[in-house]
Amino acid sequence: MTNNTTTAISITDLHKHYGDVHALKGVNLNMTQGEFIALIGANGAGKTSLLSVLMGLLPQSKGDVQILGGKPGDMAVRQVSGVMLQSTALPDALKVRELVELFRSYYPAPRPLDELLALTGLGDLENRRYKALSGGQQRRVQFALALAGDPQLLFLDEPTVGLDMEVRREFWRILDSLKARGVTIILTSHYLDEIEALADRLVVIKEGEIIANDATGNIKRRVEHKNITCQTKLATAELEKIGGVLSVVQIGRLKTIATNTENTVLQTLLSNDPDLTDLMVESSSLEDAINSMIGSDADEETNHTHEAM
């Protein structure tokens, strides 16, 4: 089984130019069948360009892309792929059932209609017009269209953006069931809890290049450390001198110390300032790790890590 894996996607030295903009600068990536990859990066990093090339919407400028033995956009590839685009407006006037039936008719071996409606939780809504649905319900219809052809390969571009937690968890359950069916999945998402829960592998893209490509757990371990937060009279400069301290950040009266050797740092801290209060020790999250990697500083203030100078 382990040695018997088949390649689903193979990307070699892929480049994409839009005029002067070099959106993809030599991307190399392989995926085996049944694998679940999360593609992450800041806005404009090249995620959408990469997906667009893979889906056959945009021609590549240079390089080679193989999907299930074919090229992006080949009829044989399209027949076994399903897609959820980041923003799509489906025809308002059509009913849920009409939309799903229409998409089923495009595929040689579609999933049964009732099964699709039940799977995506649309059973009670099948006779509603698309325009009369809530945002979350519309997303489900889009998901049903992506699954209409019983795909072997699924592209999901920000599928759960704007959905509430309950709907997102339901969506995860469905993705888990698809993974169990052996579907190869590429997901882009800004929700790192989602990625941590679902993806086998993380691919981090920055300025058109892949800067990390590893099992989700490995990436987490690699950047993992502890955050010690407390209120102390010790100055930031003093704290930074303690051996094993990676960085110190002050937010209000609290100082947060990042370290991999929390035991020794704690001992030093307590012996130098026995009166310190509000002590708290936490593991850094995957979110911290990713943000430091893609250079997203949007939430720097709540982000307890700070790379050592």
Applying CB under 8 A, which residues contact other proteins? 55-57, 75, 78-79, 81, 83, 85, 87-94, 98-99, 101-103, 105-108, 129, 145, 149
Least separation in angstroms between CB 249 and other proteins: 41
Map residue 225 onto helix, strand or coil. coil
Closest contact distance (angstroms) between CB of 102 and other proteins is: 5
Residue number, 184 or 305, with CB nearest to other proteins: 184
CB of 130 to other proteins, least distance (A): 10
Sequence-distant (≥ 6) Cβ neighbours of residue 186 within 8 angstroms:
9, 31, 37, 39, 51, 54, 154, 155, 156
Q: Which is nearer to other proteins, 23 or 195 (CB)?
A: 23
Distances (CA, A) of 211 to 144, 205, 277, 295, 301: 33, 6, 40, 11, 24
3-state secondary structure of 175: helix
* Between 11 and 83, CB nearer to other proteins: 83
Does residue 83 contact residue 57 with C-beta atoms inside 8 Å? Answer: no
Please say which residue, 18 or 267, places its beta carbon nearer to other proteins.
18
Which residue, 81 or 284, has its beta carbon nearer to other proteins?
81
Minimum distance from residue 113 beta carbon to other proteins (Å):
12
Alpha-carbon gap, residue 91 to 81, rounded angstroms: 21
| Residue of 244, 288, 284, 283 lying closest to 267 (CA atoms) | 244
Least gap, CB of 68 to other proteins (angstroms): 14
